[in-house]
Structure 1
Amino acid sequence: MTHSNGTAKPGPGTAGRPSPAPKPGNRPKPGEPHPSPAAMKSAGSTTEHPHPVVVPTTTDPSKWGRVDDDGTAWVKTSDGERIVGSWQAGNAAEGLAHFGRRFDDLATEVALLEARLAAGTDARKTKTAALALAETLPTAAVIGDIEGLAARLRAIAEHSEEAAAHAKEEKERTRHEHTERKEALAAEAEQIAAESTQWKAAGDRLREILDEWKTIRGVDRKVDDALWRRYSKAREAFNRRRGAHFAELDRERAAAKTRKEELCVRAEELSGSTDWPATAAVFRELLVEWKNAGRAPREADEALWRRFKSAQDVFFAARNAAASERDAEFADNATAKEELLAGYEPLIDPDSDLEGARTALRDLQERWDAVGKVPRERMHDLEGRLRALEKRVRQAADAQWRRTDPEALARAAQFRERVAQFEEQAAKAEAAGKTRDAEKALEQARQWREWAEAAEGAVSNL
């Protein structure tokens, strides 16, 4: 049919402008984990849609119809040719292309329906649209494979129920996965609430669980509410336990602060003491108590430590100053003791004159004590030299005593008497012809002779 101006007039069932392509129904929402390519490939291989999508292409209308020179447009069908319209806006080739494009528009609509069905979009609506479009085909003013479009529309209608069941199954699978994930998150939150003492890390993890929770959709309402109550209860339990922990920590820190304030007062009282050894020992005890008191609130703890250390520094600075002053006084004493040692060391020679060495040592010791103390760094050296002299004299006296020891001399004489006795016994045995007894007596005499010689040698070497 044509308008009065000669342009082609659409017949019944003319296809309209194609609608935008439908959005994929399984695209993950923001924040949801995206499936891996391998998982998508695996899912696609096991859930392939029964009705494949045919990508529309530009067809050749000359295979399916013609336009006469007078403008009459014909389409070929299995029942023969039928008139679909009239073309008066140009030559026959332009008219054929016009009706071919109208067929391509219809084919595009069918392809969109197939895409919707394959994507799982509302199958019932897709079926209704396919049936409505199929009703227009017998009177459509197009030139193309109308019967092929009709077959595709029938396939869409036939598979729509199957697609609806498939979409439902997919929805149930997704709901099950999401439910399992929320159950796992709720269980993890409950474990954190019951066991964790890593307060910051656990608190951060609970917030991460909440963020992920918000991205999980499609869970049954009642199940979702029950799982949410589990998570919420676990989070509240964790917060109560964490609050109780920090409240107890605050109490402990307050007690530590009080104790450290007392230690500061005690340290300040001792800072002016001049009883150096005893007060130094008390400060060491106070430091041990300070460490055992625990931590006070941070700012207070640092201020109290500065206060305690300041009092401690005052005492030890005064002690060091007093020790330095005393050491300066003792420097002259060290010089005097060096002079004493230099004068007496040549005089004390116990190997040549033991009694003279003893007398000189006693005189040195008396004068040594009268000089007094020396600086600490000189004490070891000077006292070591004095001890060396005392040791020489003592060793010489011990050696002299051992040389004149009556017991040692008597012991050597007894050994000699035993030698003589056994030699006499050997002679008698030999005279009596008792050779074996004689040998035995001589062996014993030899042993006692060795002991006697050893005893006499010990006395003579001293």
Structure 2
Amino acid sequence: MSESETPVPTSPEPEETSAADAADVAAPVEAPAEPAVADAPDAEAPAAAAPAPRPRPGRPGPTPGGAPSPAALAGRKPAAPLLPAAPSVTEYDAALLDEAKTFGAVTEDGTVTVQDGTQVRALGEAGQAQGIDPATALDPFARAYLDLVAFLDLTEKKLSTTGHTHNELNRLLENLRKNMKEPQVVGDIPALRARAHELREKAKAQIAELESARTAARQDAIARRTAFVESIEQLVATPPEQISWKSAGETMRQMVPTWKQMQSEDVNLDRPTEDALWKRLSAARSTFDRHRKQFFSQLDERHEEAAAVKEQLIARAEEMQGSTDWGPTVRAFKDLMAEWRAAPRGGRKKDDAQWARFKAAQDTFFSARNADLEASESEQRENLVVKEALLAEAEEIDPAKDLDKAKDALRSVQERWEAAGKVPRGDMRRIDDRLRSVERAVKDAEEAEWRRTDPRTKARVEGASSQLHSAIAGYEEDLEKARATGDPAKIAKAEAALEARREWLAVIERSARDLG
């Protein structure tokens, strides 16, 4: 959706007021109508007297047989409109009427006046009552006073409830102002004004509470909208390579619906604030679209480069897939696989297709190699059987009985061992160790025989034996001399030296016997 398609909220609309509220509080009415002058025995009706207005339902009417009002006598209505009073005419309290009349008077020229605080105020043309009894002339204005008292009672009752709107409270204040501006009534007007002032202050306090709540709600709405705008801006500020474009695209698609939902749920913001936030959103969306185009344009270029690199690797793999030079080719394929892993990533579909071709070449080579290995292993298992039999033959060789025959038998086993070929890798060390054991036994026997028959060794043994015999004779003489001295120390030393030479001689003579 373009910016022109996205509505920006207008200023707050006036709140609705129920019909019942308007009927109870807001509708000003006229002063009570009176019967025609013909019903009054003490007055004559002017020739041009206007008919009395028809009373509205539920409001006070004339008392049966009562005197006409000055307004009826003058053919006019009282000038100030009043709200309807709750009680009917039969409920007017006579004592209250009399009390209200004490604030009024009729002058000699028939003008009705009222004591309004410290001043006496004439009630204007509506208060002309020539030729009428003063008490009778004051009746409609006293009733109008009680109607005004009832209006204030009804207003106070209305203010004691909750849930008022700004418009309701403003209309109530306006009605208080109109009805209390020099009211055309007879009664304690300063008391009415004092009470009306209290009611106005109470209404203003409620308006202030509503304004405070509305301000708080507007601040919450601004904070919520601002947080949403900042979240979009933060998303747009994310480095392109770190963005999940699918998720981010869905977030941007829901941006306008989310904004509209906030408009419907929140209180209306002031136009400058709303416009500023929307401009930030619009700018973020434009930046996002630009970054996305740039990213995917660059991504296409990288994918093309990756595809070219992998095509080269595939070509090399396909060249090697038919090789039977197993060892070097296996190493070459391992190096090729490392290059594939290091190559840049391309588009998913292209990558998958190229990987399938690369793996097919790899699988072709390793399948052939595995088949060759399987055939080789079968042959090696047969060779293992042959070598197991040769080991059994070799382990029967006894070099102690006949060294020459043992050497010939071992040589024959070794020749057939080499001819048998390779065995499985897992068995190689085991059978090699067994053959080495036989070979060591034959070699040890051969070395012992050589030492025994070597002439030089015999000559050395005989010379050492002769020397030890001569030395022993000398040490025996030394022992006799030591004993002759009786010195224990010399005797012990001579005995130790003689004993050592005798032990050496025993070892040499044993070696000579072995050589013989």
Q: TM-score, normalised by structure 2?
A: 0.54
Provide the C-alpha distance between the structure 2 equivalents of 1:228 and 1:449, rounded to a whole number of angstroms: 119
Conservation of the 8 A alpha-carbon contact between 1:75 and 1:84:
no
2:407 corresponding residue in structure 1: 358
Unaligned runs of 5+ in 2: 1-32, 37-53, 61-77, 104-134
1:360 Cα shift? 1.0
1:127 aligns with 2:173: yes
1:108 Cα shift? 4.8
1:3-402 to structure 2, matched below 5 A, reads 13=81, 15=83, 65=92, 77=100, 79=102, 83=139, 108=154, 111-112=157-158, 120-121=166-167, 125-134=171-180, 153-159=196-202, 192-194=235-237, 198-200=242-244, 203=248, 211=258, 214-215=262-263, 221-222=271-272, 244-328=294-378, 333-342=383-392, 344-345=393-394, 347-374=396-423, 382-397=431-446
1:151-202 CA-partner distances (Å, limit 9, x unpaired): 6543233455666666655555555555555665566555555456652398
Provide the C-alpha distance between the structure 2 equivalents of 1:328 and 1:209, rounded to a whole number of angstroms: 69
Q: When the two structures are aligned, how many residues end up with a matched partner? A: 398
SS of residue in 2 equivalent to 1:302: helix
SS of residue in 2 equivalent to 1:311: helix
Structure 1 residues 181 and 378: CA distance shift in structure 2, 3 A = closer
Q: What code does the residue aligned with 1:155 have?
A: E
Structure 1 residues 113 and 163: CA distance shift in structure 2, 3 A = closer
Structure 1 residues 281 and 452: CA distance shift in structure 2, 3 A = farther
Provide the C-alpha distance between the structure 1 equivalents of 2:508 and 2:83, rounded to a whole number of angstroms: 141
Structure 1 residues 65 and 292: CA distance shift in structure 2, 3 A = same
SS of residue in 2 equivalent to 1:295: coil
Unaligned runs of 5+ in 1: 18-58, 68-72, 86-98, 141-145
Provide the C-alpha distance between the structure 2 equivalents of 1:60 and 1:457, rounded to a whole number of angstroms: 154
Conservation of the 8 A alpha-carbon contact between 2:307 and 2:346:
yes
Conservation of the 8 A alpha-carbon contact between 1:117 and 1:160:
no
Which protein has the larger Cα radius of gyration, Structure 1 or Structure 2? 2
Q: What code does the residue aligned with 2:197 have?
A: R
1:143 corresponding residue in structure 2: none
Provide the C-alpha distance between the structure 1 equivalents of 2:473 and 2:280, rounded to a whole number of angstroms: 110
Q: TM-score, normalised by structure 1?
A: 0.58
Q: What code does the residue aligned with 2:435 have?
A: L
Provide the C-alpha distance between the structure 1 equivalents of 2:293 and 2:501, rounded to a whole number of angstroms: 93
1:362 Cα shift? 1.0
1:30 corresponding residue in structure 2: none
1:447 Cα shift? 9.6
Provide the C-alpha distance between the structure 2 equivalents of 1:425 and 1:84, rounded to a whole number of angstroms: 177
Structure 1 residues 277 and 151: CA distance shift in structure 2, 3 A = same
Structure 1 residues 165 and 107: CA distance shift in structure 2, 3 A = closer
What's the RMSD between the two structures over aligned residues? 6.1
Provide the C-alpha distance between the structure 2 equivalents of 1:119 and 1:456, rounded to a whole number of angstroms: 135
1:351 Cα shift? 3.9
2:119 corresponding residue in structure 1: none
Once the two structures are overlaid, the 10-residue window that deviates more, 267-276 or 180-189, is 180-189
Structure 1 residues 15 and 332: CA distance shift in structure 2, 3 A = same
Identity %: 31
Q: What code does the residue aligned with 1:154 have?
A: H
Conservation of the 8 A alpha-carbon contact between 1:330 and 1:374:
yes
Once the two structures are overlaid, the 10-residue window that deviates more, 381-390 or 349-358, is 381-390
Provide the C-alpha distance between the structure 2 equivalents of 1:305 and 1:126, rounded to a whole number of angstroms: 81
Conservation of the 8 A alpha-carbon contact between 2:173 and 2:203:
yes
Conservation of the 8 A alpha-carbon contact between 2:472 and 2:501:
no
Q: What code does the residue aligned with 2:345 have?
A: R
1:314 Cα shift? 2.0
Conservation of the 8 A alpha-carbon contact between 2:380 and 2:424:
yes
SS of residue in 2 equivalent to 1:274: coil
Provide the C-alpha distance between the structure 2 equivalents of 1:132 and 1:8, rounded to a whole number of angstroms: 21
Conservation of the 8 A alpha-carbon contact between 2:217 and 2:267:
no
Provide the C-alpha distance between the structure 2 equivalents of 1:361 and 1:162, rounded to a whole number of angstroms: 121
Q: What code does the residue aligned with 1:271 have?
A: Q
Conservation of the 8 A alpha-carbon contact between 1:260 and 1:293:
yes
1:295-323 CA-partner distances (Å, limit 9, x unpaired): 32111222222222222222222223333
1:186-237 CA-partner distances (Å, limit 9, x unpaired): 6655555545665239838975887369546665655555555556555655
Conservation of the 8 A alpha-carbon contact between 1:423 and 1:445:
yes
Provide the C-alpha distance between the structure 1 equivalents of 2:271 and 2:248, rounded to a whole number of angstroms: 27
Structure 1 residues 107 and 230: CA distance shift in structure 2, 3 A = same
Q: What code does the residue aligned with 2:372 have?
A: A
Q: What code does the residue aligned with 1:366 have?
A: E
